[in-house]
Amino acid sequence: MKRKRKLLAILMALAMAWQGVSFANADELASPASPSTVTSGTETGSQGSPSEEDIRAEQAKQEAARQAAASAINATTGKAINVNANAVYVNKDNSAAYNNEGIDNYAQFGVSVDFTVPEGQSPKAGDTTTFQLSDSLKIQKSDNFEVKDGDQLVANASIDAANRTVTLTYTNYVEQRSDIKGKFWISLQVNSDKETEAKQLSTSIKVNNTSNLAIAGSINYTGIAKDGDFELVKDSWSNFVEETDASGNKVYLIRYRILVNVGARTNITLKDTLGEGAFSYYNSDAHPVSIRKGVWQRGENVNGNWVANEVNGKNWDIRNSQKTGPATQNTDLEAQYKAAVGKKSFTLN
């Protein structure tokens, strides 16, 4: 009998010990922020709570991951955000408002746009607003730039010159503010393929392909510019030509053209002098120095072909004596030009 009581007591003690451990673990699971200690036999274990700094770091990490995921999704599925905007014409470097000066098809000017996002649009990172210019205007080149409100990046802008569009892609800054605004400007020319006659030219901007934003004022368009009669003209190509010299170094060429009307000028001495800086004459097999002698003709290039137009042609070209083709190049000048390589001036009689 005593033995049975002793065995029963041992079993009850074990049951109480296991129950105590279970309660302790249940407490630990229910209160993860509070330290707990479980004692069983000879082992003692402890578990501490994360610090406030660790919690804030983890929250920041999760928020950054959320925003990155949202931007990635919206980059392809972002919605179009409507804006309230104003647009005005400005001069070619955006330093002043356009003052109604005469503008031909070669002259540059600009348009400045300021915008706000109205309440209720709720833009998110990756959402866009697209501005499309009238086909009466043309953008000179595609480009990318940032649109800021003070020091804050509101949107990344992308210019598509071929389609005459400026697309704003909003950053996560717009998710943190309600008073969202920005301003940008772009450089323009009149599209002479569309506008051939002089006029007061008024245009508008299409926003998100749905609404029209009128540009305040108008452009005093003087029409397509024509090369005037001349005696002596020197001009240059607007872009550099990149070549690699015999030593493997990159060189950038500036190409010049000198037009001489020998019917108006005789006994000409041509002297060319380079300015200060790292400029020197360079002999290029791809772009040799040459003289073309022939008959001047007014016209213009259409799809790479010369089309004569003696009355309204925009340009001059030197043709052969029968005007059936361009004048032949004579490269006798090259020998004299090669002697000028490395020098700062060049003279031709």
DSSP character string of 231-274: SEEEEE-SS-EEEE-TTS-EEEE--EEEEE-TTT--S--EEEE-
* Residues spanned by the domain of 98: 84-223
Q: Of 189, 223, 257, at which residue does a domain stop?
A: 223
The reported pTM is 0.52
Residue 25: its pLDDT value, please? Answer: 39
Q: Is residue 205 helix, strand or coil?
A: strand
Does 143 share its domain with 268?
no
Does 195 share its domain with 240?
no
Does 333 share its domain with 207?
no
Encode pLDDT of 195-217 as tens digits: 989 999 999 999 999 999 999 99
| Average pLDDT value for residue range 34-61 | 55
User: CA 216 → CA 23, 103, 191, 204, distances in Å?
Assistant: 78, 17, 19, 9
Least confident residue range of 247-256, 278-287, 329-338:
329-338
Residue 28: its pLDDT value, please? Answer: 38
Does 140 share its domain with 249?
no
The tally of CA atoms less than 13 A away on the side-chain side of residue 243 is 13
* Among 46-60, 224-238, 311-325, the range of highest mean pLDDT: 311-325
Q: Is residue 195 assigned to a domain? A: yes
pLDDT band of 10, cuts 50, 70, 90:
very low
Does 212 share its domain with 254?
no
Query: Do 182 and 157 touch, CB atoms closer than 8 A?
Result: no
Residue 137: its pLDDT value, please? Answer: 98
Encode pLDDT of 136-182 as tens digits: 999 989 999 999 999 999 999 999 999 999 999 999 999 988 899 99
Q: Of 223, 252, 269, at which residue does a domain stop?
A: 223
Domain count for the chain: 2
CA pair distance 235, 316, nearest whole angstrom = 13
pLDDT band of 239, cuts 50, 70, 90:
confident
Q: Of 223, 253, 286, at which residue does a domain stop?
A: 223
Q: Is residue 52 assigned to a domain? A: no
Q: Is residue 176 assigned to a domain? A: yes
CATH number at residue 97: 2.60.40.1280
